[in-house]
């Protein structure tokens, strides 16, 4: 359904992975999609995995959208400023949706997987949180300046369960917790101007890099049940699911009611009646439908018989999720 026709959107970090999937889904919905990345061609290769804006543009246009690729290094504030000035000029001040997704830390995470923070070099922090947390803040500044003028708009920030539970180490966890707080505090200041700020937590998304990580873990014959979720690709989401959920959020006339809150992609998919690329609907990571089979691999093929009951946040905070204690 082309429910975003006439809407102007921007997805940062869309050369590959979740950003590419988001851009394609916005194209499905008929939006004009600006996409950013470090390369228009095949020269942008990270960890042996290539991706470029031209390929994403072709995929978005095939899905039915209008796509405008812009080469941007999100560690360069002037390039980001120029990006928004271009959108301002070309779209007469209209920007309906910003998706903060750019992230340069994937390769560093792969290289330091399993290492304690003191065994890593200090620059790991910058690799993860410069193009990531800081770049989200910078992009949101320029987007907000446009949106408040029209008294409408949505800023979606891609965050992670890692903000509440140790997943990929200290620098990653702190960065994602800060993204969550960034969204919440921006929402307070943007709400009087009818601009929404929403925090999105995807599940386990089968991007190129996560798939490569799963292959690496599998080759090590690791028997930890938590690792088997990766090896078996159990309950994985595709990048397209997050994109379809964002498209639904951008079309929601009552989106301001969600501002400042964490939104779980799988749960939003259920609420909006959205399915993933192959027509399935992965369970939320706080659902018994995921938690029990994740811990007991032998019953995964019977997961359809497990009720989709969500563990309350208060209980998660006391048990699984080790957020800061007060």
List, in sequence order, the alpha helices (H) in the chain.
Answer: 17-28, 53-63, 77-90, 106-112, 123-129, 135-150, 170-190, 208-219, 225-231, 239-251, 265-272, 288-295, 313-318
Burial tier of 42 (Cβ tally within 10 Å: 0-12, 13-18, 19+)? exposed
Tell me what pLDDT residue 174 has: 94
Tell me what pLDDT residue 225 has: 58
Is 140 in contact with 84 (CB distance < 8 Å)? no
Mean pLDDT score of the chain, rounded to an integer?
A: 90
Determine the Cα–Cα distance for residues 99 and 81; give it in Å rounded to an integer: 16
Tell me what pLDDT residue 223 has: 61
Tell me what pLDDT residue 221 has: 59
Q: What share of the chain is helix, strand, coil (3-state, %, to 5)?
A: 50, 15, 35
Tell me what pLDDT residue 298 has: 85
Phi and psi at 73, nearest 5°, equal -100, 110
Tell me what pLDDT residue 289 has: 92
Low-confidence ranges of the chain (pLDDT < 70): 1, 42-50, 215, 217-226, 319-326
Task: Count, in order, helices (H) and strands (E) of the chain.
Answer: 13, 9
Token pair 């595709």 in the structure block, residue:
238
Determine the Cα–Cα distance for residues 172 and 124; give it in Å rounded to an integer: 9
Residues with active-site annotation: 172
Token pair 């209209």 in the structure block, residue:
94
pTM (2 d.p.) = 0.92
Tell me what pLDDT residue 45 has: 59
Determine the Cα–Cα distance for residues 106 and 274; give it in Å rounded to an integer: 28
Tell me what pLDDT residue 87 has: 98
């Amino acid at each position: 359904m082309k429910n975003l026709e006439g809407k102007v959107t921007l997805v940062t970090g869309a050369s590959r992975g979740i950003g590419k999937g988001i851009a394609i889904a916005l194209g499905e919905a008929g939006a004009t999609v600006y996409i950013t990345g470090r390369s228009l061609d095949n020269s942008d290769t990270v960890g042996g995995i290539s991706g470029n804006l031209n390929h994403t543009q072709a995929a978005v246009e095939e899905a039915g959208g209008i796509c405008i690729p812009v080469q941007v290094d999100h560690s360069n504030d002037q390039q980001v400023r120029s990006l928004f000035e271009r959108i301002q000029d070309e779209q007469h001040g209209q920007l309906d949706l910003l998706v903060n997704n750019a992230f340069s830390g994937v390769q560093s995470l792969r290289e330091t997987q399993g290492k304690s923070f003191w065994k890593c070099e200090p620059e790991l922090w910058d690799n993860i949180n410069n193009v990531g947390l800081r770049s989200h803040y910078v992009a949101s500044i320029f987007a907000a300046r446009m949106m408040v003028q029209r008294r409408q708009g949505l800023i979606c920030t891609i965050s992670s369960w890692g903000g509440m539970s140790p997943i990929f180490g200290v620098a990653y966890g702190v960065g994602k917790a800060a993204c969550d707080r960034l969204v919440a505090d921006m929402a307070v200041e943007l709400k009087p101007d009818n601009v929404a700020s929403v925090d999105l937590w995807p599940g386990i998304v089968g991007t190129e890099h996560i798939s490569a990580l799963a292959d690496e873990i599998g080759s090590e014959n690791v028997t930890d049940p938590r690792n088997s979720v990766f090896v078996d690709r159990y309950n994985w989401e595709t990048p397209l699911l997050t994109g379809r959920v964002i498209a639904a959020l951008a079309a929601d006339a009552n989106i301001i009611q969600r501002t400042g809150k964490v939104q779980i992609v799988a749960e939003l998919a259920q609420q909006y009646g959205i399915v993933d690329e192959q027509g399935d609907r992965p369970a939320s990571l706080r659902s018994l439908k995921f938690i029990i089979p994740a811990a007991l691999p032998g019953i995964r093929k019977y997961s359809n018989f497990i009720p989709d009951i969500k563990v309350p946040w208060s209980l998660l905070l006391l048990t699984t999720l080790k957020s800061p204690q007060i």
